[in-house]
Structure 1
Amino acid sequence: MKIEIDKVKKKQLDLSESEPASHFPALVEMEKAGECVFTAPVNAQVSAIWEYDHVRAMGKVESAVRLTCSRCLTEYDYPISSDFTIFYTESKGEELDEEVELSDEELISATYSGDEIDVDPEIAEQVALEVPYKPLCSESCRGLCPECGADLNAGECGCDRGGINVKMAALKKIKIEK
């Protein structure tokens, strides 16, 4: 998806696209790394307007992924939806040599050069930010039994999990004198 600067300076541009996740290199990398599998195309709607010396792009991205629960290893589908606003300013060719603290506005800013803005990297970034780092099929997921590996969400397995943790067994021998 591209925003043409000459057109946006004259009037608001409303753009939309629906692309498979394979269109976005960052999302392809997520799939290769095994983080998720995209089960729906990435749908994006963006409205761009010219304000003073920058372009304000407001939009929404939607998709869906299949994730593996980090507790019970069950696969489940997860919808993705994110609203965003990005301010695009023309690149002046200056680079920062030292660390600086960014303001809230600078955190949602990007630069462009030339006569059009490619919004695809920001669309992919918005989708990637919505994929959970530690996916859970539900907040109440009980995970797997550490003894036999049974899914505890399906019911108790009968293993005695209340025993002494071998890693902490040495602490039981410590005697504290008063």
Structure 2
Amino acid sequence: MKVRTEHIKETVREFSFNEPAESFPVLAAMMAAGECRFTGSVQVALTAERELDHYRVEGTVSVPVQLDCSRCLCSFDRTVFSRFTIFFREGAAVNREEEDEVELEERDLISSSFIGDEIDLMPEIAEQVALEIPLKPLCSESCKGLCPVCGIDLNSSTCSCVSEQKQSKFAVLKDFKVRP
């Protein structure tokens, strides 16, 4: 997914891509690590335009993904969707290591650089998808999870296990009285 800058110097251009998730190294590594399973291709629709000294790329990315719930361990399907804006500047990335602290502005957080006459969108698209994958996926907000004693899925059935109430370390303070 490379865009030639000569095609977007004069006018706003629209692009759309369908790429298999395996063609993105970051997404392939996520699948290999077992974080998720992409069940379809990555669909990208974007517009690119030149603005003064940079290129503005706005668009959307979506991909169907299968995740495992972090509470009940059941697999479920979702579509990951992201809307993004990225500014591309020509030239190497600025190295600011000589300063101790640098305050980043919002534009710095959504900026990238490129060299030559092509903008490679693959790393930025993969980053947008990776950022939308939840660290602790839930099949639903009301998921009850598994019983900590017997391991039964509490969403589909109930168990007769008695959960022990753990004594708080501060329970000894409940009878504490302050004397005047």
What is the TM-score with the length of structure 2 in the denominator? 0.90
Superposed structure 1 runs of 4+ greater than 6 Å apart:
169-175
- How far apart are the structure 2 equivalents of 1:78 and 1:66? 6
Deviation of residue 172 (structure 1)?
6.4
CA spacing shift, 1:113–1:157, aligned 2, 3 Å: same
User: Which TM-score applies when normalising by structure 1?
Assistant: 0.91
Distance apart, 1:68 and its partner CA: 0.4
1:110 paired residue among 109, 112, 117: 112
Q: 5 Å matches for 1:121-140?
A: 121-140=123-142
Aligned-residue RMSD, C-alpha: 1.9
User: What's the counterpart of residue 34 of structure 1?
Assistant: 34
**8 Å contact from structure 2 (residues 146, 152) kept in 1:** yes
**Contact 2:92–2:114 (Cα < 8 Å) also in 1:** no
Match of 1:101 among 82, 103, 107: 103
When residues 75 and 176 of structure 1 are mapped into structure 2, their CA distance, relative to the original with a 3 A threshold, is same
| Distance change in 2, residues 1:176/1:149 (3 Å) | same
1: CA distance, partners of 2:12 / 2:170 = 68
The answer for unaligned runs of 5 or more in structure 1 is none
Matches within 5 A, 1:18-97: 18-92=18-92, 94-97=94-97
Mark the CA change 1:3 to 1:158 in structure 2 (over 3 Å): closer, same or farther.
same
The unaligned stretches of length 5 or more in structure 2 are none
User: Structure 1 vs Structure 2: percent identity of aligned residues?
Assistant: 48
Q: Secondary structure at the match of 1:128?
A: helix
